[in-house]
């Protein structure tokens, strides 16, 4: 999909969310629904094949080490792979979760990325999309703001489309966009 068509498709997702925002932000709208209706299509528009298990691993496995030194296998919602190499994780939440305020979702994605030696991790509920620097060791007392590199509200997706596309589209990730971001 070319960039112009991709932006038009993102516009449709934004309009859909805005049209029924109260329902999507209610506690009754769950994570599986937001993944199917918004997050999967969002990354598909950015060139990722969400149905290809070689490219996107749903409920991927990541070993994290707790602050007490214990290792445990956890399951990030999405692992994004290119040529068999893990590039980043995406952790999804339902839109009723306040990603900018709640500490645990931010720590969760940062732990996944840190433990897997990844440059970034993405936390999203579609309403918000936050890119974290996962090269900063997570600490249980960190606020949700620690390690934030970029953050967007769904209402910013069209205005910031070029920026988002340059960071997270499949081809730009292949070209090293994520490493370039953390090097800044």
pLDDT band at residue 184, thresholds of 50, 70 and 90?
A: confident
179 against 19, higher pLDDT? 19
33-85 pLDDT tens trace: 999 999 999 999 999 999 999 999 999 888 887 667 777 888 999 999 999 99
pTM: predicted TM-score of the whole model, two decimal places: 0.94
Q: Which class is 3-183 in CATH?
A: alpha beta
Domain boundaries, the chain: 3-183
Q: Give the SS3 label for residue 61.
A: coil
Of the CA atoms within 13 Å of residue 148, those in its CB half-sphere come to 19
60 against 23, higher pLDDT? 23
Evaluate if residue 163 carries a pLDDT over 90: yes
pLDDT given for residue 35 in this prediction: 98
Tell me the C-alpha distance between 115 and 71, whole Å: 10
96-155 pLDDT tens trace: 999 989 999 999 999 999 999 999 999 999 999 999 999 999 998 999 999 999 999 999
pLDDT given for residue 71 in this prediction: 79
pLDDT given for residue 61 in this prediction: 85
H-state helical runs in the chain: 3-19, 21-24, 31-34, 40-45, 103-115, 161-168, 170-174, 177-183
The CA–CA distances, whole Å, from 2 to 6, 37, 67, 140, 169 equal 6, 21, 44, 42, 11
pLDDT band at residue 159, thresholds of 50, 70 and 90?
A: very high
């Amino acid at each position: 999909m070319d960039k112009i068509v991709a932006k038009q498709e993102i516009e449709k997702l934004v309009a859909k969310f805005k049209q029924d925002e109260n329902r999507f932000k209610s506690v009754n709208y769950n994570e599986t629904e937001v993944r199917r209706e918004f997050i999967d299509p969002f990354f598909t528009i950015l060139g990722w094949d969400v149905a290809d298990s070689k490219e996107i691993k749903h409920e991927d496995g990541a070993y994290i080490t707790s602050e007490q030194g214990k290792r445990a296998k956890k399951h990030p919602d999405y692992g994004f792979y290119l040529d068999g190499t893990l590039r980043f994780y995406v952790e999804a939440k339902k839109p009723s979760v306040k990603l900018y305020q709640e500490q645990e979702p931010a720590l969760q994605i940062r732990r996944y990325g840190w433990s897997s030696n990844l440059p970034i991790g993405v936390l999203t509920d579609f309403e918000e999309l936050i890119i974290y620097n996962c090269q900063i060791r997570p600490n249980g007392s960190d606020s949700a703001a620690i390690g934030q590199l970029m953050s967007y509200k769904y209402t910013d997706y069209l205005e910031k489309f070029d920026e988002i596309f340059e960071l997270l589209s499949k081809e730009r990730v292949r070209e090293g966009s994520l490493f370039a971001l953390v090097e800044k």
